[in-house]
Amino acid sequence: MYRLERGSTSYVSGLLARKLAELLREIEDKVRELGVSIRGEPLNRVGFVDGSYVLEERRGACLVLYSASSLEVVERRSIRQYMRGSKEPLIQVLVPKTYSESRASLLMSMLELLAGLDMVLKGVEAIFMDGSYVSALMAPFGYALDVYSRAVKAANRHLNFEVVEGMGCEACEEIRQVLEGERDPRMCFQSIMSVVGRYANRLYAELCSFEELGPQWRKEALDYSVVYFEETAYLSILNKLLEEAGERGSSVFWVAKDSESRYLTEREGILGWLNDLMLLDYAWRDLESVYTKLRGVSFGKPKGHVACFKLIDEVYEKWRDYTVVYFKLGRQGVATQMTYPTRLSDELLQEALSTLLQLSDEVHGYPRPLNYVHNLAVLNPGLARLIADEMYRRSSRGSLMRFMLAPSGRRLLGLVR
């Protein structure tokens, strides 16, 4: 290892560094030539959405704060702000605590999707969401599959999926009615959370009728009941957003601040720790206003019963094809990834990129509205603890909420502040 300074070391030295430099030189010209000039007429009405969450883990629950910010840019000049981000956070006591970070992230994404849906209904030509469409489709493949697998194992063939699917279809219909009737994203989110809680309680009561399965089953049944309906709600909102955008001739794009994707490096045979954005930053270092487009691999459906199966069939049959685009707007900027459902947004790609170019910051080469909604949405990490502490203090001594929101043992014992 090569010593950089006292206390710091690096593997990037000697033979490894030379090999990496040789590899980059070999592929640089080819990757550079992938860059196509951005051309096209900018769009007149576009929306931008970003979200944020912070959580505080307590003895028996997590307190989560969600925020989403949204704004519309009209003819690249005037701005209409809709959701105010951190100025109006939503508060939720998340129970159970299982996979709290991942579940909070999913629920925050639901609020973002609702903000995007609101803007589609307002008539924008395109929405730019924070994050990745690939990640949006991946949501039912992660922790939800773990929860499902544990429930199936613990149930020992007692889990009746006909009952589960029946409740899932009922919940889908209620969520659809909420989405049809409630336009305000915050109120819509709260109403959908009420539907999730009600159906999770029903399914949990049904699953707990298997008394012969013992106390461990109750934990797995609770986790599964909650996660199943959270995933169902998430896919319902995603599907509604894409359906409405398609019907109204709008497009939806996801723009990632960072990405570890390796579509290009794998295609060009460059395996290892080098990712696409690092490769493009190097090869496009003196370029501007360029992009390259890659067709993504179509998603299959999640194999587990992690959400309403009828809904899963609908979403992954229609929206599983996606496209990956890398672009660089300003010479001083960096390469950025954008992903989108191919059948919905492909025709407006050039116009979307041209719009981002027109709205980009000349110094940083990044679209100013994306930076703006991000700053509007960011929540103070300490706010969740302050609110949890206040709710704990105000709870009556014998209430369940007081015990659930009690601070950690270290804090109760005065070992930490």
**Span 337-366, mean pLDDT?**
93
Given a cut of 50, whether residue 123 has pLDDT beyond it is yes
Pairing, β 126-130 against β 251-256 = parallel
Q: What is the pLDDT of residue 415?
A: 47
Q: What is the pLDDT of residue 411?
A: 59
Amino acid at 216: Q
Displacement of CA 240 from its chain's centroid (Å):
16
Given a cut of 90, whether residue 162 has pLDDT beyond it is yes
Say which residue, 158 or 39, is predicted with more confidence: 39
User: Where does the pLDDT of residue 386 fall: very low under 50, low under 70, confident under 90, or very high at 90 and above?
Assistant: very high
Q: What is the pLDDT of residue 195?
A: 98
Helix (H) or strand (E) holding 312: helix 309-318
Give tens-digit pLDDT for 202-246: 999 999 887 677 778 889 999 999 999 999 999 999 999 999 999
Query: pLDDT exceeding 90 applies to what percent of the chain?
Result: 71
Given a cut of 70, whether residue 14 has pLDDT beyond it is no
**Span 346-363, mean pLDDT?**
94
**Span 250-278, mean pLDDT?**
85
Given a cut of 80, whether residue 272 has pLDDT beyond it is no
Helix (H) or strand (E) holding 134: helix 133-138
Pairing, β 336-341 against β 322-328 = antiparallel
- C-alpha dihedral, 330 to 130 to 252 to 235, nearest 10°: 160
How wide is the angle at C-alpha 277 spanned by C-alphas 275 and 280, nearest 5°? 110
Q: What is the pLDDT of residue 362?
A: 79
**Span 299-312, mean pLDDT?**
93
**Span 158-164, mean pLDDT?**
89
Given a cut of 90, whether residue 352 has pLDDT beyond it is yes
Place of tokens 């010593």: 3
How wide is the angle at C-alpha 201 spanned by C-alphas 136 and 197, nearest 5°? 45
Given a cut of 60, whether residue 255 has pLDDT beyond it is yes
374's CB contacts (< 8 A; 6+ apart) are 50, 69, 130, 257
**Span 159-167, mean pLDDT?**
93
Displacement of CA 217 from its chain's centroid (Å):
30
Q: What is the pLDDT of residue 16?
A: 67
Q: What's the whole-number average pLDDT of the chain?
A: 90
Report helix angle 309-318 to 161-181, nearest 10.
60
Taking Cα atoms as reference points, which of 275, 406, 392 lies closest to residue 334? 275
Given a cut of 50, whether residue 2 has pLDDT beyond it is no
Q: What is the pLDDT of residue 214?
A: 77
Helix, coil or strand: residue 105 = helix
Q: What is the pLDDT of residue 1?
A: 42
What gap in Å lies between CA 221 and CA 138, rounded to an integer?
A: 23
